[in-house]
Amino acid sequence: MIEVDLRLARPGGFALDCGFAAPGEGVTALFGRSGAGKTTIIQAVAGVVRPDTGRIVVGGEVFFDAARGIDVPIEARRVGYVFQDSRLFPHLKVEGNLRYGERRCRAVERPIRFEAVVELLGIGHLLARRPHTLSGGERQRVAIGRALLAQPRLLLMDEPLAALDEARKAEILPYLERLRDAMRLPILYVSHSLDEVLRLADTLVALRDGRQVAAGPVAQVLSRPEMLPVVGRFDLGTLLECVVARHDGDLALSSLAFAGGELRVPQVDRAIGEKVRARVRARDVAIALTKPEGVSVSNLLPAVVEEVVAQEGPYADVGLNVGGVRLAAMVTRESVARLALRPGLDVWAMVKSVAVDSRNPDFLSPGGLTAPE
């Protein structure tokens, strides 16, 4: 378990006030726009920045406790840190950079083996090369390997893909997924890219102007109205954890089952029973008072209105309960009045578009999958 509760103020008026708990394994994303305080948090966890007050605990070990006067030195915290730029040693070959990470720990504390890291990150063919001959994605994979071989109890990743173009991001994301799934390490992952967060993260901590907006499982947090100023009006939505239920080869469609029902989407290249993620933007959910007939939208789900939150301008956010799963919808305030939407009202949700599959490099891309209409 990772427990972070800290406050600090800096010259110029910036103040950080954040408190969250994250699982002891998997990816916890610190998400927000530039200046939200994301990097300051992981610097505090690493010991680079000292909070004014608060407490930081990782795996039961107290790294920092202002009230008790505890501030564990950086080198004793055993955290791996991956930066935007790889910061590899230019005079060392790839193997030398990796071995440097190995030398940072005692031989008796090496459960993460050199050969396993090389295989996991697909860098065996790079060992004899120097950093300047590598692509940006290759350099980042080596930097991650060096951090892992220092045997960290926690891995910190500060915008590791920010300096890469889209092609290099697509190259490295599958390796980050393999790292998440193979290594039972907690990872704090800083990003301002919602696509990266939805693909990689299990837990989401959303930040705005130094304040924590929301924290929790990513599928729950994404649909909350308070996320609006963080993700923007047209990216607010819902992330559904689904299982491939069946394929219809004749129609080139797949059915994805989730706790609230099923979604029909263009056929996905996944086996029946395999887990996938489906993202539904709030703007792609329409509401009807009775079950629609004679419409092209094929995803029609019975729902109950949980809340209606009027926003500035013409819009309103509507929280729907679909079989125990929260689904966010964005409608106009005029529609709220015309349909008399209110908590407890039985309605039908029409899902017009779905982006599918956190394991697919095209997940959530502009040309991603959409639900059939």
The answer to whether 368 and 325 have CB atoms below 8 angstroms apart is: no
In a domain? residue 140: yes
In a domain? residue 363: no
Amino acid at 365: S
Phi and psi based region of residue 187 (left: phi greater than 0; alpha: psi -120 to 50; beta: remaining): beta
277 and 198 together in one domain: no
State which H helix or E strand residue 94 sits in: helix 94-103
Give me the sheet containing 15-22, strands edge to edge: 70-71, 61-65, 53-58, 2-9, 15-22, 211-217, 203-208, 26-31, 186-191, 154-158, 79-82
85 and 37 together in one domain: yes
Instruction: Determine the 3-state secondary structure of 166 from DSSP.
Output: helix
Work out how many domains the chain is built from and give that number: 2
In a domain? residue 372: no
In a domain? residue 214: yes
Q: Which residues contact 291 (CB under 8 A, 6 or more apart)?
A: 300, 302, 348
Give a three-class secondary structure readout of 132-150.
HHCCHHHHHHHHHHHHHHC
pLDDT score recorded for residue 110: 62
Instruction: Determine the 3-state secondary structure of 325 from DSSP.
Output: strand
Full pLDDT tens readout for the chain, 373 residues: 899 999 998 887 789 999 999 888 889 999 988 888 999 999 999 999 999 999 999 988 999 999 999 999 988 888 989 888 888 899 999 999 998 877 776 654 667 788 888 988 889 999 999 999 988 888 989 998 998 888 888 999 999 888 888 888 888 888 888 888 887 789 999 998 888 888 888 899 999 999 999 899 888 888 787 887 888 777 788 888 899 999 998 999 999 999 999 999 988 888 999 888 888 989 999 999 999 998 888 899 999 999 999 888 899 999 999 999 999 999 999 999 999 999 999 999 999 877 775 444 333 333 334 455 5
CA distance 190 to 161: 10
In this structure, are strands 186-191 and 154-158 parallel, antiparallel, or unpaired? parallel
pLDDT score recorded for residue 189: 93
Instruction: Determine the 3-state secondary structure of 52 from DSSP.
Output: coil
For 76, the domain range is: 2-221
pLDDT score recorded for residue 132: 92
Q: DSSP state, 225?
A: G
164 and 267 together in one domain: no
197 and 266 together in one domain: no
**Beta partners for residue 158, in sequence order:** 190
Can you give the CATH number for the domain in which 144 is found? 3.40.50.300
pLDDT score recorded for residue 276: 87
165 and 81 together in one domain: yes
pLDDT score recorded for residue 372: 52
147 and 261 together in one domain: no
pTM: 0.79
Q: Which residues contact 346 (CB under 8 A, 6 or more apart)?
A: 302, 303, 304
217 and 259 together in one domain: no
- Its sign, for the CA torsion 87, 38, 44, 205, is negative
21 and 120 together in one domain: yes
Compute the 3-state secondary structure of the chain and give helix, strand, coil in percent, each to the nearest 5.
25, 35, 40
214 and 344 together in one domain: no
